[in-house]
Amino acid sequence: MSFVWIQQLLKNIFRPVVRPLFSRLRLIIREEITNGLSFQTASTHLRPPSTIEITERPLFPKIIKTFYEWDNFVDKANHLEATDSKKFHQHLQAHTWDIQAFIDQFEQQGGKIRKKSPLSEMDYFKKEKEFFEFLSGKPYDFKHEGHHLDVDSVMKNYPLSCYRNYIDYNWNGFSLLNYIQPRIGGRFLDLGYGWGNLLELFGRAGCSVSGVDASPSFQELALRRCTMQNIKIDLLTHGPFSLVCDFQSQYDYIAFDSAFHHCETPVDILSLLRKKVSSDGRLIFINEPIVDWFERPWGFVRSDGETALQIRKRAWFEIGIRTDFFNELLEVTGWRLLDTTSHQFIHPTFIAQPI
């Protein structure tokens, strides 16, 4: 009798107290990995001191479980972003969102989440897009991925205005150039070129540059940056990545920098790029959320506050990719991942070549 009583007591204590504690600790560990600590600790000493930001992370982050809590989180983030940059970043790091709680709500409304390989479940990508529209409250549209900025204002203080950690970014870029060793006259294609940093780096290394980005203002900025440095521009445009289908050139170097995880049709894009790369070309992935521990191989699996903000506020397609599926995805679309472990990149970097 006493044993049953003790068992029931432990059960009643474990459920409300111990289980949430372990759940929070697991989220903290995952957030540290998501924010790049596992990739960057070995190379932090190489960074210029002015580019390293230290933000204290709370032991117990606040977990968003409802849309009401999510919208309050976004409202406060909007206020802090306009008034206090440091508190804004602290606010993001102090929150995570409970993915499973929102999966449960989604499925209660008739949705369905797939958990096996997207290559074996034919409607996997479709169901994940439906989940995204449930989370964001908006239908998917690549135009949401764009970012507006005042180009004239940016160019007044160029180059420091073009990227918050401009020196840090180029530090990684030079490391990449050292590994790639681009040839003078090579063709470089940047998908999601944003501020234009990679276009500038490869252009100054002697390549002609092309690119696609969702934002018209980034297109203007990239054109002005490249033109003022006499970089040869083949084609810079804005729109979905599928526009590459109409490009006439073949490319020696193709890059995604924090952009591949915005692709809602990764198989189609990688298959298309396989046709656009030269026989000895390279496909480069920089700063993409590709890790071993995601519970599902592809989709909305990143629980950090930054991801939560961008999905709900801007309707950005912020997916994560598990490493085993990334390798499988490359293989079925005609790519082979190169071993770059001997080369020290500042940011997480994967490089593939055509098979």
- Domain with residue 163: its CATH number is 3.40.50.150
DSSP per-residue string spanning 160-210: GGG-TTHHHHHHHHHHHHHHH-PPTT-EEEEET-TT-HHHHHHHHTT-EEE
Q: Residue 27 pLDDT more than 60?
A: no
Q: What is the pLDDT of residue 4?
A: 58
Per the structure block, which two tokens stand in for 272?
Answer: 């298309």
**Domain membership flag for residue 250:** yes
Contact 236, 209 (CB under 8 A): yes
Q: What is the pLDDT of residue 38?
A: 35
Per the structure block, which two tokens stand in for 23?
Answer: 């759940």
Taking only the tens place, the pLDDT of each residue in 278-337 is 999 999 999 999 999 999 999 999 999 999 999 999 999 999 999 999 999 999 999 999
Q: What is the pLDDT of residue 60?
A: 79
**Domain membership flag for residue 1:** no
**Domain membership flag for residue 274:** yes
Higher per-residue confidence, 338 vs 8:
338
Taking only the tens place, the pLDDT of each residue in 47-69 is 233 333 434 556 678 999 999 99
Per the structure block, which two tokens stand in for 78?
Answer: 């909007």
Q: Hey, how many other C-beta atoms are within 10 angstroms of the C-beta on 59?
A: 8
Q: Residue 219 pLDDT more than 60?
A: yes
Strand order in the sheet with 233-238: 233-238, 208-213, 187-191, 251-257, 277-286, 349-354, 335-337
Residue 39: pLDDT band (50, 70, 90) is very low
Number of domains in the chain: 1
Q: Residue 1 pLDDT more than 70?
A: no
Pairing between β-strand 349-354 and β-strand 335-337 as defined by DSSP bridges: antiparallel
Contact 294, 321 (CB under 8 A): yes
Share of the chain above pLDDT 90, in %: 65
Per the structure block, which two tokens stand in for 14?
Answer: 């474990």
Q: What is the pLDDT of residue 51?
A: 33
- Domain span at residue 345 reads 144-354
What is the residue type of 224?
R
Q: Where are the alpha helices (DSSP H) in the chain?
A: 2-13, 19-34, 37-40, 67-83, 85-93, 99-108, 124-136, 151-156, 166-180, 197-204, 216-228, 266-276, 305-314, 323-332
Residue 36: pLDDT band (50, 70, 90) is very low
Burial class (CB in 10 A: 0-12, 13-18, 19+), 353: middle
Secondary structure of 133-161 as H, E, C letters: HHHHCCCCCHHHHCCCCCHHHHHHCCCHH
**Domain membership flag for residue 321:** yes
Q: What is the pLDDT of residue 154?
A: 82
Residue 220: pLDDT band (50, 70, 90) is very high
**Secondary structure letter of residue 17 according to DSSP:** I
What's the rounded Cα separation, in Å, for the pair 317 and 12?
A: 40
Burial class (CB in 10 A: 0-12, 13-18, 19+), 155: middle
What's the rounded Cα separation, in Å, for the pair 346 and 342?
A: 13
**Domain membership flag for residue 74:** no
What's this model's pTM, rounded to 2 decimal places?
0.83
Q: Residue 224 pLDDT more than 90?
A: yes
Residue 271: pLDDT band (50, 70, 90) is very high
Taking only the tens place, the pLDDT of each residue in 138-197 is 999 988 888 888 888 888 877 666 655 566 667 778 889 999 999 999 999 999 999 898
Q: What is the pLDDT of residue 46?
A: 29
**Domain membership flag for residue 66:** no
Per the structure block, which two tokens stand in for 232?
Answer: 């040869």
**Domain membership flag for residue 31:** no
What's the rounded Cα separation, in Å, for the pair 99 and 320?
A: 12
Residue 121: pLDDT band (50, 70, 90) is confident
Closest CA to 191 of 111, 123, 272: 272
Higher per-residue confidence, 32 vs 54:
32
**Domain membership flag for residue 16:** no
Q: What is the pLDDT of residue 344?
A: 78
Average pLDDT of the segment spanning 203-216: 95
What's the rounded Cα separation, in Å, for the pair 69 and 41?
A: 33
What's the rounded Cα separation, in Å, for the pair 99 and 165?
A: 31
Per the structure block, which two tokens stand in for 8?
Answer: 């029931």
Where does residue 337 fall: left (phi above 0), alpha (psi -120 to 50 degrees), or beta otherwise? beta
Q: Residue 86 pLDDT more than 60?
A: yes
Strand order in the sheet with 290-291: 290-291, 320-322, 298-299
* Least confident window among 14-18, 200-204, 333-337: 14-18
Q: Hey, how many other C-beta atoms are within 10 angstroms of the C-beta on 205?
A: 19
